[in-house]
Amino acid sequence: MSYETILCELEDGIGVVTLNRPEVMNALNAAMRVEIRQAVEDLSGRARAIVLTGAGRAFCSGQDLTDAGAIEAVDFTRILREEYEPMLAAVTGCPVPVIAAVNGAAAGAGANLALGCDVVIAADSAVFLQAFTRIGLVPDAGGTHWLPRQVGFARAMGAMLFAEPVTARRAADWGMIWEALPDADFAAGWRARAAHLAAGPTLAYRGIKQALRGAADRSLPEQLALEADLQGTCGASADFREGVAAFLAKRPPRFTGA
């Protein structure tokens, strides 16, 4: 499949989707939203881990306002429902782990696209910015869902009201992201994390995503029942048998995702 606004590659079980509009800091236009969804859906059946990252000096600067039409006639409801929601659903519903490798600024919907991924790894020079109030808007693209769950009500509210940048190090300290890496180590770092996941027990990862993604909306009995069902599935897998055999033999496991 060919793309105009992104780059897509698959190697050693790792699918890498690179937002590729560096001249506008990888701002999200209609074509990019469709192509991110298509790439993630395509890779989800072939890759064992997927990485979203950006070309140039930014991860993603958010909505491309020049692509939305005349400002007085922008139909954000339609754009969010018809374009953002399918893209975000592809990312959050992907059966394999999705890493956001945030190489630079992640602002507005770009920040929330990153926060919707399973794991966020950022370069030290990266910043996260809920920029919406700077232009009189409410945070969207899942930001009001993800951020309070990740950092708590007070920090989420402050980040959204004041629209001040949060550095990668602060984001890691707050629990917004998994880790911040020195710029010099960033590319090697996220690739090593992706390789670890690509070599791991894919079925177990899928179960973890299913269990955690909806945990806040389930009661404890419901969550315990889901854990039991997921564990039953994983316990019958070849990966479980391989994991136990490797543990007993004191060797690294060779998971196949089966």
- On whether both 182 and 116 belong to a single domain, the answer is yes
In a domain, 254, yes or no: no
pLDDT at residue 69 greater than cutoff 70: no
Which residue segment(s) compose the domain that 208 sits in?
Answer: 202-249
Q: What string of DSSP letters covers 105-158?
A: EEETHHHHHHHTSSEEEEETT-EEE--GGGGT----TTHHHHHHHHH-HHHHHH
- On whether both 209 and 134 belong to a single domain, the answer is no
- On whether both 141 and 129 belong to a single domain, the answer is yes
Rounded CA separation 157/164 (Å): 11
Residue 212: which CATH number?
A: 1.10.12
Is there a contact between 177 and 108 (Cβ–Cβ < 8 Å)? no
- On whether both 194 and 231 belong to a single domain, the answer is no
- Residue 65 pLDDT level (bands cut at 50, 70, 90): confident
- On whether both 106 and 211 belong to a single domain, the answer is no
Q: How many Cα neighbours within 13 Å face the side chain of 1?
A: 18
- On whether both 30 and 116 belong to a single domain, the answer is yes
pLDDT at residue 70 greater than cutoff 90: no
In a domain, 79, yes or no: yes
- Residue 167 pLDDT level (bands cut at 50, 70, 90): very high
What's at 19, amino acid-wise?
L
- Per-residue pLDDT reduced to its tens digit, 170-200: 999 999 999 999 999 999 999 999 999 999 9
pLDDT at residue 1 greater than cutoff 90: no
- On whether both 78 and 176 belong to a single domain, the answer is yes
Residue 257 is predicted with a pLDDT of: 78
Residue 136: which CATH number?
A: 3.90.226.10
Q: Name the DSSP letter for residue 28.
A: B
Give the pairing type, strands 14-19 and 6-11.
Answer: antiparallel
- On whether both 157 and 93 belong to a single domain, the answer is yes
What's at 243, amino acid-wise?
G
In a domain, 113, yes or no: yes
From 177, 198, 219, give the residue that closes a domain: 198
- On whether both 185 and 207 belong to a single domain, the answer is no
Mean pLDDT of the chain: 95
Residue 58 is predicted with a pLDDT of: 97
- On whether both 208 and 122 belong to a single domain, the answer is no
Secondary element (H or E) of residue 229: helix 220-235
In a domain, 51, yes or no: yes
- On whether both 235 and 107 belong to a single domain, the answer is no
37 contact partners, CB below 8 Å, separation of at least 6: 86, 87, 89, 90
User: Distance of CA 224 to CAs 8, 12, 174, 203, 205, Å?
Assistant: 38, 35, 28, 18, 17
**Structural domain count, the chain:** 2
237 contact partners, CB below 8 Å, separation of at least 6: 201, 203, 204, 258
pTM of the entire structure? 0.93
- On whether both 157 and 223 belong to a single domain, the answer is no
In a domain, 116, yes or no: yes
- Nearest CA to 111 among 52, 182, 35, 65? 52
In a domain, 87, yes or no: yes
In a domain, 223, yes or no: yes
- Nearest CA to 255 among 246, 95, 49, 118? 246
In a domain, 163, yes or no: yes
